[in-house]
């Protein structure tokens, strides 16, 4: 399921979605926190990204595992396999961070919604969730870079030097 689409590895295609959707989730979540008067305009976009970003990260990790298994079956070993394993570790951490970020963002959306069905929470909850969102957002951006950089180094190496 996560191996090929139109003859290309799924991983090669979906990683670009991760590189777009995770930073976009972080950016809009930060805007949601920093610009309370625009929350009613941002809430649906933030909610949609809180669903889409972890899905793309999950598909990227699963398709990466499938690609790794295919490369091992083709005889990859040694240093390149170590680099693939490092890249995979970064990707797994990115998925975990993105999932945590998405959950924190959704909780923040509920806590600040003012909807009559939303539970009344203590006043300290939205600021604490905001700090959690910022922390997870920064960590997710770092891991987007680490994962993307390690993957592109494997593929492109010193091609452009």
What percent of the chain has a predicted confidence (pLDDT) above 70?
96
Main-chain dihedrals φ then ψ at residue 4, nearest 5 degrees: -140, 150
Spatial CB neighbours of 61, under 8 Å, sequence gap ≥ 6: 88, 91, 92, 94, 95
CA distance 114 to 8: 46
CA distance 91 to 57: 8
Q: pLDDT class for 89, splitting at 50, 70, 90?
A: very high
What percent of the chain has a predicted confidence (pLDDT) above 90?
65
Cα angle 147, 55, 93; round to 5? 35
Torsion angle defined by CA atoms of residues 57, 22, 139 and 107, in that order, rounded to the nearest 10 degrees:
-90
Residue 4 is classified by DSSP as: E
Q: What is the mean pLDDT of residues 69-79?
A: 83
**3-state SS assignment for residue 9:** strand
Axis crossing angle, helix 125-156 with helix 79-112, rounded to the nearest 10: 160
Domain extent listing, the chain: 4-155
Q: pLDDT class for 130, splitting at 50, 70, 90?
A: very high
Axis crossing angle, helix 125-156 with helix 10-34, rounded to the nearest 10: 150
Per-residue pLDDT of 24-69, as tens digits, reads 999 999 999 999 999 999 999 999 999 999 999 999 999 999 888 8
């Amino acid at each position: 399921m996560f191996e090929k689409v139109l003859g290309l590895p799924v991983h090669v295609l979906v990683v670009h979605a991760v590189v777009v959707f995770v930073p976009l989730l972080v950016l809009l979540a930060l805007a949601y926190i920093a610009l309370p008067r625009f929350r009613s305009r941002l809430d649906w976009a933030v909610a949609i990204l809180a669903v889409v970003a972890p899905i793309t990260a999950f598909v990227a990790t699963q398709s990466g595992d499938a690609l790794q298994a295919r490369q091992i079956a083709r005889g990859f070993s040694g240093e390149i396999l170590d680099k693939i394993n490092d890249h995979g570790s970064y990707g797994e951490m990115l998925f975990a961070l993105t999932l945590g970020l998405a959950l924190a963002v959704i909780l923040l959306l509920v806590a600040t919604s003012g909807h009559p069905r939303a539970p009344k929470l203590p006043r300290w909850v939205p600021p604490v969730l905001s700090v959690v969102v910022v922390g997870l957002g920064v960590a997710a951006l770092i891991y987007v870079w680490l994962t993307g950089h390690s993957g592109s180094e494997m593929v492109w190496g010193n091609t452009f030097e």
